[in-house]
Structure 1
Amino acid sequence: MSLKRYLVPGFKQFTPGGGSSTLGDLLHFRAAVGAEAAARTLMSDLAELHGIQGVLSVSAPADIPSQGDVVDVVLSLDPTLTDFATIDEPLRAEAYKLEVGERIILTAATEQGLQWASRSFLQLIQSCGDSRALESGTALDWPDYPVRGFLIDTGRRFMAPEFIRDLIRTLNWHKLNTLVIHLNDNEIAKDTGRSWDEAQHGFRLRAESGEFAPLASTDGSYSRQDWDSFEDLAAARGITIIAEIDAPAHSRAFIAQHPELGRNNGNSDMLDLAGDHAVNFMKRLFDEFLPWFRGPVVHFGADEYERGLDEDFKRYFNQMAAHLRSAGKSPMAWGSITTMSGGAGAPAPEGYDRDVLICSWNNGWYGPKEAVADGYRILNTNDEWLYTVPYADYYCGDGLRLEKLWSDWEPHVFGGDEVLDKQHPQLLGSLSACWNDLVLMDYNEHDIFRMVSPTFPMLGQKMWGGTPEVMSFCEFSELTDRMADCPGREFVNSQVAAVGGKD
């Protein structure tokens, strides 16, 4: 069986070299300048998962002689990476080469690429069992799509900081590189029969003082220190965090504090976009927290606003996109343009700003074919395929339908006749999502993890290299079970799940 089938995701290319390399209880790590952090992370993970200890030397690897029977693990950065000269950026930035012989050699153009090489090395050891005998050969590996990730809704239900950090570690294990954190939202009042004054709502960033300090939810919010811990860990693990502050719908957290911002004299979860008061509030809100967000992309929401207010919505969309760009961030938004306006029309200012990354979440609100025809770069976030709403009787109430995903879904598949060409140049990748719509239900982070974590290896495989040839769903499931141990997780391993979801 090909070594490509022992990993999740599997290698794109593997050339056997003959023989094997057996690892002992001690390895000598040799990190070139710039690769030290990746080497230290790998050493820590190796000790945790396999009980193998490491000694680190930092130098030009060729300058350090081998030491007897101790296997060398060499990590180095090569910006030229000539083995991948025909691969376009940004995919080339995540490519890596892994050589197994007398030495184990991990080479990549970036630290992120070294992260993925190190995950593959750890999984190779895992696949060997107690023998620790790695088949000799050379792997060349790179992703199909540059954005591969997951969205967690913390707006409707606070997620402990420790859980967010465990999500980062879990995404890393399967070479998923993006975590979107949805930071505000509210109860769907029409579904619960409660008034807007009663409806639960959340905003999860905590300013220490000033205009926006009162917005922080009393049932849980993230301090700057919490957020820095997310960003620090994400950077060390090859993950980009995208923060989402959602408006002009889903905005009850803001309207509850400032009723004058809302439609119907504040009896709403939608901002009143007539005039400039609401948009200026949102600009100031983003300005308050943009210094927290280290990633190049920021999500400004823009979904499911009230129909019939097309011009107000378009003006808001364009102003917020321009505002984020002026602050040095690339804007991202939900696809709602078909429903709101019947199409993007001419470019801004007459039509919609095209320099926005669009999450194509629903084929009716704004399908992928129309979005790419309008010139947008898009992500597949299709609700029917990729949404989990814990314990709901709609979408996927107990986790995504893995067997159907295996047989029928790829990142370019959006359902119905909404299918793009594979690796369409405007399709950047895909995000699955967990939405905590049922705010009155009793469940916790452990329940969420049980539902979403089986998704990550499959989506990681699909977005990295597609569905492996001549592999059944059962075989893939057995493989993911063998690769389930992920280094560094603490919170999800220690929490007790709620006994089912209950009112």
Structure 2
Amino acid sequence: MIKHRRLLAALLVCLGLAALLTPIATATATPVAIAAAKPVTIPALQEWTAGGRPYTFGASSRILVEPDHAGALSADATTFAEDIADLTGRRPAVLAASRHSARAGDIVLTLGSPDAALGEQGYTMTVDATVVLAARTATGAFHGTRSVLQLLRTSTTIPGGTARDWSQYPERGVLIDTVPRGYSKDWWHNLIRELSYLKMNQLDVALLGPRGLTKAEILDLTAFSEKYHVNLTPWLSMPSHAFDTLRRHPEYRLANDPDNPLTREAFDFTKPGALEIVRSEIERWIDLFPGRTWSTGADEYMKFPYWLAPTFDDFPQFKRFAQEKTGNPAATSYDAYVWFLNYVNSIVKEHGKTLRAWNDTLQSTGVLRLDKDIEIEFWIRPYPVEKTLTPQDHTDPASSFGGHKLLNASMGELYYDSGLNLLDPRGLYNTFDVTRFNALNGRDVVTGEATKNLLGARLQAWMYSAPGKPDDTNEELAANLERPLRSLAQKVWGSPKLTGSYDEFITMMEDVGQAPGWVRTSKSDAVGTPVTALDADRRLNSLVTTASGRLLQSRQTEPGSFGWTSPQVIGTKITGTPALRRDVTGRLVFVARTTDGRLVTGRQGADGSWSAGATTIRTGVTGDPVLLADSLQRLAVVAPTAGAVWYGVQTAPAGHWSGSDLATSTTSTPSAVVAASGKVTVLAVDPDGRVVAVEESAAGSGRFGSPVVLTDGASGDLVVALDNDKKVTYFVRRENGQLVHGWQREPGGPWDPATAVLVEDSAGRPAVALDADGRLTLLVRTTAQQLIHRRQAVAGGGWVPGQEVLYGDLGGDPVVTTDAQDKLTLVVRRNDGLLIHKQQTALGGAWSPGAAFLATNLVPNAAPALTLDGTGRLTSQATATFGYVFNAYQKEPSGSFSRSLVVGALES
């Protein structure tokens, strides 16, 4: 299906309708105060009345199942106990006992609630010295256990009160494309746990295809999804996309047209013996699935998009078939398609299930009508519009085509396409509405009595890569679904939001966390900031630290290649961000801090490899090191220690290290630069918040004079740069948020006592670079999460008044450099974990109005790297929450970026 939707993507771009594919983040709604007494859950509780004693979970807490309902609830109670044990480390006993025997700390599960408004999925939760979960069905009671788990995630004490909670729509789910790839058992179990934790109840999977699911996988998935009250719906594509069936029965292919791959995937059900094959294909699998639904797909039969040939009328056998089966000479070729879906429906109903089909091929023509009990999955309203059915047509009982249950699977808001289109959790949270559907000609809305036939909504994750784009990894897919699932869960459950601000909702998501029992599936555990540098062969090398303290090294297989070598461990017990630089011989050298406070170093061998160990050159180090080359081209390192700043230098180029403590100490990472005089100048923020500068007494001597105090009140990391006149300048944030700039009066000379405040409300570490015309350019994040840009009015002089906002919603600090054409380029982490990229449109000019994304799910406290590779193309690397390092590279010097899958070499 999805490869043809990629054709639609290209067409939409040409038509200027690409917004249907990539949702645009909308402005955050006005924040709504969170009710102080209302517990935080996702989705939020429908109703909450505070009162009564608080509940505390403890070592003696038990789960009681009232004896009359033990048969229906005991298995769920056991699952609940397992999840609590994973969450708290304490597994409560599960007993069949009356609520009247409950003691403080117990949780009671019961059925028989008289509250009809709760429906099949709702429950009440009464919190006092005990918690009592009461529902009309086992599913409702199980949903109540998910709320308790979320509340116990943040505290073992739950405030007293009573909740009534139910879903506005019966279905909330996700479709996972299993046709082109497989997923591990742990991956599937994680997803099912997550769905259940969010009270989402639907998982759709492809049964057959180039990959599909094995029988063993099916049995495991059905058992695990039943355990967690998730309905597993298989989809066996018929009559379209019938890959597997036609592989075994190629004689039933509709047409072998090389210009239309869809006809090669289409099953011609009009041929003798075809219907028997259809029945056998369905009955081969259907009874393995205990769920209530079965999908036949039925999308994109013969063609896509729909204004292209062929049509049903291009195949005369359809009309003959329809007239023969109906006995009606007025039957059309399209009626054959409707007859076939009704035939499949009859088979599915024999097995006690409900049939589902995509909407796109259904039309308002012919004499036959689709069986009313077939549920429709609506993803797009295609052209020609006059023949297609709207969501209202499908659902309205008064319509001749209506009365169907309809699932919102809108392409514009609910589609994830690997390598092409991301879901927008902010847009889902702010604006998604189950009653509203996208269409090529605008939106269609379901109104009136027809809304009663809306099932809910489902995310679609399609895993065919776009042309020239890499597939997302399974771990990347899971991470990219995490926030959209939470946004959709809130909107489709339909309870009042606890906040109108998506940014506040992010905090709630972090509080609720992932489902108990979630396990890591990634083999890679990178967590640090990647550092990159070119070696003598013009190949980029990349270092990154892992959660286990290993320092991993990898390098490009060829200059400019997006292929990387297998990882090599070149250090252990490493913490923080290492420093990497090429020495005078062309070999790379790193220095890094260990968990026990040692400063270690390693050097690349002549063949480009690294030794497995690292040499200790200092102890008592408390922060990240900085590497530079002094005026004699020897590598030098500056690192903070418990009581000083240590300066180490090679005794000769590529030689051993010696060093001494400088007459100052620091609470943050120091900075160092070689001044116009050739002397190394070290700047640091001392424990009293003063910016101090210490300078070499003579160039290359390694001996330093007394510190000079430049300003006070500093609290952030220093950034030091040389301006166009080679004057040393510094930028630092004060405790009050002011970003202060100071400078030398003349190159290599004394410091000007004056300072300039460039930004009033800075929040992070600034980034500074020289523009093509020699003017310093400053980029910094503010407390309002805006990216502020300022630049000098003239090279080496004052600054242009005012400040320019380049971007908003930042979650990290910018990194900036120049590309091969000397245009400034920046990358920065957005608040939602996206790595975005902006660049100047001309030398020394304005910045691009938009921003392209390069990676997703970035680690919040790890900065990206941005480096020119050996072919003049910028490469950016950033660490993801699931332990991989993304690698984004320019397609050509100064051009747009393309993202490689990941730097797979950093997987270990």
TM over 0.5: yes
Is 2:62–2:106's contact at 8 Å kept on the other side of the alignment? yes
Residue 109 of structure 1 aligns with an amino acid whose one-letter code is R
Partner residue, 1:343: 364
Match of 1:453 among 482, 506, 522: 482
Is 1:261–1:277's contact at 8 Å kept on the other side of the alignment? no
Residue 354 of structure 2 aligns with an amino acid whose one-letter code is S
Is 1:386–1:433's contact at 8 Å kept on the other side of the alignment? yes
Match of 1:222 among 214, 220, 225: 214
Residue 359 of structure 1 aligns with an amino acid whose one-letter code is E
Partner residue, 1:308: 311
User: Larger radius of gyration, structure 1 or 2?
Assistant: 2
The residue matched to 1:144 in structure 2 has which SS?
coil
Is 2:38–2:50's contact at 8 Å kept on the other side of the alignment? no
1:216-295 aligned at under 5 Å gives the runs 221-223=213-215, 225-265=216-256, 268-295=264-291
Partner residue, 1:353: 371
2:93 is equivalent to residue 55 of structure 1: yes
Task: Measure, in 1, the Cα distance between the counterparts of 2:433 and 2:355.
Answer: 25
Match of 2:412 among 364, 370, 384: 384
Task: Measure, in 2, the Cα distance between the counterparts of 1:466 and 1:133.
Answer: 23
Residues 1:276 and 1:382: Cα distance change in structure 2 (over 3 Å): farther
Partner residue, 1:155: 179
Partner residue, 1:102: 129
1:156-235 aligned at under 5 Å gives the runs 156-185=180-209, 201-202=210-211, 204=212, 221-223=213-215, 225-235=216-226
2:351 is equivalent to residue 327 of structure 1: yes
Residues 1:433 and 1:497: Cα distance change in structure 2 (over 3 Å): farther
The residue matched to 2:217 in structure 1 has which SS?
helix
* Cα distance per residue 1:474-502 (max 9 Å; x no partner): 11111012112211222546666584664
Residue 121 of structure 2 aligns with an amino acid whose one-letter code is E
Whichever structure has more helix as a proportion of its residues is 1
Superposed CA RMSD in Å reads 2.4
Match of 1:413 among 436, 440, 461: 436
Task: Measure, in 1, the Cα distance between the counterparts of 2:522 and 2:65.
Answer: 32
Residues 1:98 and 1:444: Cα distance change in structure 2 (over 3 Å): same
Task: Measure, in 2, the Cα distance between the counterparts of 1:466 and 1:400.
Answer: 22
Partner residue, 1:433: 460
Residue 50 of structure 2 aligns with an amino acid whose one-letter code is P
Partner residue, 1:403: 426
Residues 1:139 and 1:344: Cα distance change in structure 2 (over 3 Å): farther
2:109 is equivalent to residue 45 of structure 1: no
Is 1:443–1:497's contact at 8 Å kept on the other side of the alignment? no
How far 1:264 moved relative to its partner? 2.2
Task: Measure, in 2, the Cα distance between the counterparts of 1:134 and 1:469.
Answer: 17
2:504 is equivalent to residue 475 of structure 1: yes
Is 1:406–1:473's contact at 8 Å kept on the other side of the alignment? yes
2:120 is equivalent to residue 93 of structure 1: yes
Is 2:121–2:166's contact at 8 Å kept on the other side of the alignment? yes
Structure 2 segments unaligned to the other structure (5+ residues): 1-33, 259-263, 303-309, 313-333, 383-387, 525-882, 888-898, 902-908
Residue 95 of structure 2 aligns with an amino acid whose one-letter code is S
* Cα distance per residue 1:438-461 (max 9 Å; x no partner): 288344311110111221111111
Task: Measure, in 2, the Cα distance between the counterparts of 1:144 and 1:344.
Answer: 34
The residue matched to 1:447 in structure 2 has which SS?
helix
Is 1:296–1:329's contact at 8 Å kept on the other side of the alignment? yes
Is 1:100–1:135's contact at 8 Å kept on the other side of the alignment? yes
Task: Measure, in 2, the Cα distance between the counterparts of 1:65 and 1:315.
Answer: 58
The residue matched to 2:44 in structure 1 has which SS?
coil
Task: Measure, in 2, the Cα distance between the counterparts of 1:103 and 1:36.
Answer: 19
Of 162-171 and 116-125, the range deviating more from structure 2: 162-171
Residue 282 of structure 2 aligns with an amino acid whose one-letter code is F
Match of 1:462 among 475, 491, 495: 491
Residues 1:497 and 1:293: Cα distance change in structure 2 (over 3 Å): farther
Task: Measure, in 2, the Cα distance between the counterparts of 1:253 and 1:157.
Answer: 15
How far 1:26 moved relative to its partner? 3.4
For these two proteins, the number of residue pairs brought into alignment is 445
Partner residue, 2:158: 134
Is 1:240–1:295's contact at 8 Å kept on the other side of the alignment? yes
2:62 is equivalent to residue 28 of structure 1: yes
Task: Measure, in 1, the Cα distance between the counterparts of 2:199 and 2:884.
Answer: 27
Residue 297 of structure 2 aligns with an amino acid whose one-letter code is G
Residues 1:56 and 1:322: Cα distance change in structure 2 (over 3 Å): closer
Residues 1:366 and 1:448: Cα distance change in structure 2 (over 3 Å): farther
Of 307-316 and 425-434, the range deviating more from structure 2: 307-316
Task: Measure, in 2, the Cα distance between the counterparts of 1:284 and 1:435.
Answer: 28
Task: Measure, in 1, the Cα distance between the counterparts of 2:83 and 2:498.
Answer: 30
The residue matched to 1:151 in structure 2 has which SS?
strand
Task: Measure, in 1, the Cα distance between the counterparts of 2:429 and 2:496.
Answer: 7
Task: Measure, in 1, the Cα distance between the counterparts of 2:516 and 2:497.
Answer: 25
Task: Measure, in 1, the Cα distance between the counterparts of 2:283 and 2:523.
Answer: 37
Residues 1:471 and 1:442: Cα distance change in structure 2 (over 3 Å): closer
Partner residue, 1:211: none
The residue matched to 2:451 in structure 1 has which SS?
coil
Task: Measure, in 1, the Cα distance between the counterparts of 2:498 and 2:150.
Answer: 20
Residues 1:158 and 1:344: Cα distance change in structure 2 (over 3 Å): farther
Residues 1:58 and 1:387: Cα distance change in structure 2 (over 3 Å): same
Task: Measure, in 2, the Cα distance between the counterparts of 1:409 and 1:298.
Answer: 27
Residue 15 of structure 1 aligns with an amino acid whose one-letter code is T
Partner residue, 1:194: none
Task: Measure, in 2, the Cα distance between the counterparts of 1:162 and 1:170.
Answer: 12
* Cα distance per residue 1:47-99 (max 9 Å; x no partner): 2112233123212332x363xxx512111122xx11x22x2xxx611111111
Is 1:148–1:430's contact at 8 Å kept on the other side of the alignment? yes
Is 1:406–1:458's contact at 8 Å kept on the other side of the alignment? yes
How far 1:353 moved relative to its partner? 2.4
Residue 253 of structure 2 aligns with an amino acid whose one-letter code is G
Residue 407 of structure 1 aligns with an amino acid whose one-letter code is N
The residue matched to 2:497 in structure 1 has which SS?
coil
Residues 1:71 and 1:227: Cα distance change in structure 2 (over 3 Å): same
Partner residue, 1:72: 106
Whichever structure has more strand as a proportion of its residues is 2
How far 1:303 moved relative to its partner? 0.6
Of 174-183 and 11-20, the range deviating more from structure 2: 11-20
How far 1:253 moved relative to its partner? 2.6
Residues 1:258 and 1:400: Cα distance change in structure 2 (over 3 Å): same
Residues 1:456 and 1:344: Cα distance change in structure 2 (over 3 Å): farther
Task: Measure, in 1, the Cα distance between the counterparts of 2:254 and 2:885.
Answer: 37
Task: Measure, in 2, the Cα distance between the counterparts of 1:499 and 1:469.
Answer: 35
The residue matched to 1:235 in structure 2 has which SS?
helix
* Cα distance per residue 1:406-444 (max 9 Å; x no partner): 222121121333112388111111111101122883443
1:113-124 aligned at under 5 Å gives the runs 113-124=140-151
How far 1:470 moved relative to its partner? 4.6
Is 2:301–2:361's contact at 8 Å kept on the other side of the alignment? no
Partner residue, 2:293: 297
The residue matched to 1:332 in structure 2 has which SS?
strand
